[in-house]
Chain A
């Protein structure tokens, strides 16, 4: 954490330099590509742009190194705690008290908040599931995927698929926002109740040792399955395929065509 004037200055300067350098790199790459004609990249052209960016690169690197050295010279400490969410606070508070026999206005309020949260959860998860299912069906059966226009087909398929996926994830933002507000109201209700009534403490958690340890069983099953799969893979040539690919440069994987 920056606490002296010089540290704050370095932090600010580093921030500005890194952001500007990042933008400059992207702009230069785009400029190289769009003004380069049939073969936009060559060692000479790239070298020319690197010469232009040399000074900002060196300054940014210098600031970054200075900041890291400052950090090393300071005592190791935690980066600071993030604030807890209302749902975490609620769970923590509920775990301390036995609220099973709660009744009255607050109990009714809590029941109402929980039901509303549950409803929002169902709507949000159902909407996400529906959208994701549609995306999979679209990609599997409807979208055009050819080899001649490989990148174009993949891009146009995902021009539809990715925004839909963003919506499917984005529906959870209002759900979480509502859930946080609801948890805050519930927490306030519980605190009011605890303040006005005698509420027993929650019983300490006791490890149910007699129950089978499902995690251990799952572990053994997965280990056994993985060893069987590996042996099957070695016998059916799968391991040889991994080697065959790995000893050749995957030019498309590293952006080289």
Chain B
């Protein structure tokens, strides 16, 4: 029995999962603890999304319980005309100075995916001079797509997270595919178009490349890694090289699969694979002083004292590891239990006004009578209720000034309101978030519009009332078309084209 146990332990030490892989899997699961999201087909809306994951993890992924730092940074730049982006800059700086690119090597879920893809047994393309040059591409992407474009469009009062929109594969793989596979999100298929085609092709290319080229995305594309790389030299966690022990044999650079010039530079992801190959033990993890201060190590002169110090160090490392493992395990179990079983978004699905007795059931799907509710008008002239608009075709559009696609489609709704004046009423309902920006935006862009502008009401801090009542979940914009009797004939999540609206109106008129 004891022999069998020893054999298993030896086999595990030679073939089993490494500590780094375990930490990567742990962090991927911790930051995506909301497993219920994959069942319900919706994203998490709790307060933990005030915080950011250190690595790349799209917040539109059904499981994500925190925000993506890169997406949040771009949104902050997009809104920097009104709110200075202190929060996100502070978060990035704090993560950078504590962890540096240790995040890339140990905590990033997308980094884990790339590592696993690279394990597939195929010939591999090793790093060379060309890949060293190509590694500068991510700095170009950082400047152009994360900083310049969001700021340029900020001057036009249009939020555009350019890297997320045009490049990021984590959003396509984690967010889009994670939502589309759920039958509840069948309506989202109508939103797929040229952008999805481009992003899916790009994501497939990157994933295939990752099988043959180590961490293709991290090395050549990821702007978050580029940002953290600036902090690598000063970070608290990471790899350090003791120059007085280094003999410049270069084995660390040869064994490293990243495009480093030396250990701990901006390209180093602090994975630690260079540590065992160093012949003079010049490479180690930073933070060793926490376990045992330098003064105690230097005080040991004789072999016996050195052995005693080493034994003391090992004992402390073992104790610290056990305590850390216990705390982390409890944190993960607690997260999984809380987010999936205890957390309640506190939403009581509202019912709207009292139902009319005309035999048509009330609901938010096509064929149902649209629930009615009184909403405050943006111009302060009173309230509006869908009931008051019976006899005309009504288009209800949920939008927000913070939403790029919403702003893009509003001119089309304005055109429809003008062209079909008298037959069609367009009611736009602004989210509770950033409601204070709506009057100025409307006055500037739609001064003489035929559209009606109203505010939604707050159900919870993060959920709007009428939007939820009319079947909205988490994506804006949302459009519904009602016939003259108030029955829903069309619903759409996402941007709606002018031609689509015209087709629906004509079909409804001719019914």
Contacts and interface: CB of A to CB of B under 8 A. Distances in A.
B251 interface: yes
B189 interface: yes
A257 B66 CA distance: 23
Interface in B4-62: 14-15, 18, 43-45, 47, 49-50, 52, 58-60
A145 B476 contact: no
A15 B176 CA distance: 27
Given A140-B148, A247-B474, A215 B233 contact: yes
Given A169-B140, A230-B94, A256 B494 contact: yes
Given A173-B133, A237-B83, A242-B50, A68 B60 contact: no
Given A30-B201, A180-B129, A219 B156 contact: no
Contacts of A239: 50, 87
B133 A10 contact: no
B253 interface: yes
A22 to B, nearest CB: 4
B465 interface: no
Interface stretch (B117-125, B314-322, B332-340, B449-457): B117-125
Nearest to A169: B136
Nearest to B116: A68
A34 to B, nearest CB: 9
Nearest to B256: A82
A68 B463 CA distance: 44
A229 B93 contact: yes
A233 B73 CA distance: 12
Contact of B119 (A71, A75, A91, A233): A71
Nearest to A256: B191
Given A140-B152, A165-B137, 20 more contacts: A66-B121, A67-B121, A84-B253, A88-B250, A132-B140, A173-B130, A205-B246, A218-B234, A219-B235, A222-B93, A232-B87, A233-B90, A236-B84, A242-B76, A245-B67, A245-B71, A246-B59, A254-B171, A255-B198, A256-B475
Nearest to A170: B133
Interface residues of B, number: 132
A40 interface: yes
B208 interface: yes
B161 A10 contact: no
Contact of B120 (A41, A67, A246): A67
23 contacts: A2-B121, A2-B123, A41-B190, A91-B248, A139-B144, A145-B152, A150-B160, A150-B408, A154-B162, A206-B244, A219-B236, A233-B89, A238-B87, A241-B76, A242-B72, A243-B47, A244-B434, A246-B72, A247-B463, A248-B475, A252-B195, A253-B71, A254-B60
- B interface SS class: helix
Contacts of B120: 14, 18, 64, 67-68
Interface of B: 14-15, 18, 43-45, 47, 49-50, 52, 58-60, 66-68, 71-72, 75-76, 79, 83-91, 93-94, 96-98, 119-124, 126-130, 132-134, 136-137, 140, 143-144, 148-149, 152-153, 156, 158, 160-162, 164-166, 168, 171-172, 175-176, 179, 186, 188-201, 204-205, 207-208, 211-212, 231, 233-236, 243-244, 246-251, 253-255, 257, 273, 277, 402-405, 407-408, 411, 433-434, 462-463, 473-476, 493-495, 499-500
Contacts of B91: 226, 230, 233
Contacts of B79: 241
A225 interface: yes
Contact of B49 (A26, A33, A242): A242
A135 B141 CA distance: 13
A79 interface: yes
A5 interface: no
Nearest to A30: B197
A14 B168 contact: no
B60 A250 contact: yes
B86 A230 contact: yes
A10 B90 contact: no
B129 to A, nearest CB: 5
In the A-B complex, the 10 residue pairs with the closest CB atoms: A233-B87, A67-B121, A229-B90, A238-B87, A254-B175, A230-B90, A226-B93, A41-B192, A255-B199, A22-B208
Contacts of B200: 25-26, 29, 255
Nearest to A74: B15
B83 A238 contact: yes
B295 to A, nearest CB: 13
A184 interface: no
Contacts of B235: 219
Nearest to B432: A244
A241 B75 contact: yes
A68 B119 contact: yes
Interface of A: 2, 7, 10-11, 14-15, 18-19, 21-22, 25-26, 29-30, 32-33, 38-43, 46, 64, 66-68, 70-76, 78-79, 81-85, 88-89, 91-92, 95-96, 132, 135-136, 139-140, 145-148, 150-151, 154, 158, 161, 165, 168-170, 172-173, 176-177, 180, 204-207, 215, 218-219, 222-223, 225-234, 236-257
Contacts of A230: 86-87, 90-91, 94
B121 A255 contact: no
Nearest to B50: A243
Contact of B176 (A158, A233, A255): A255
Contact of B191 (A172, A180, A257): A257
A169 B500 CA distance: 44
Given A76-B14, A219-B97, A253-B60, A26 B201 contact: yes
Contacts of A46: 189
A153 B277 CA distance: 51
A176 B129 contact: yes
Contacts of A84: 250, 253-254
Most buried by A among B158, B175, B463: B175
Contacts of A72: 15
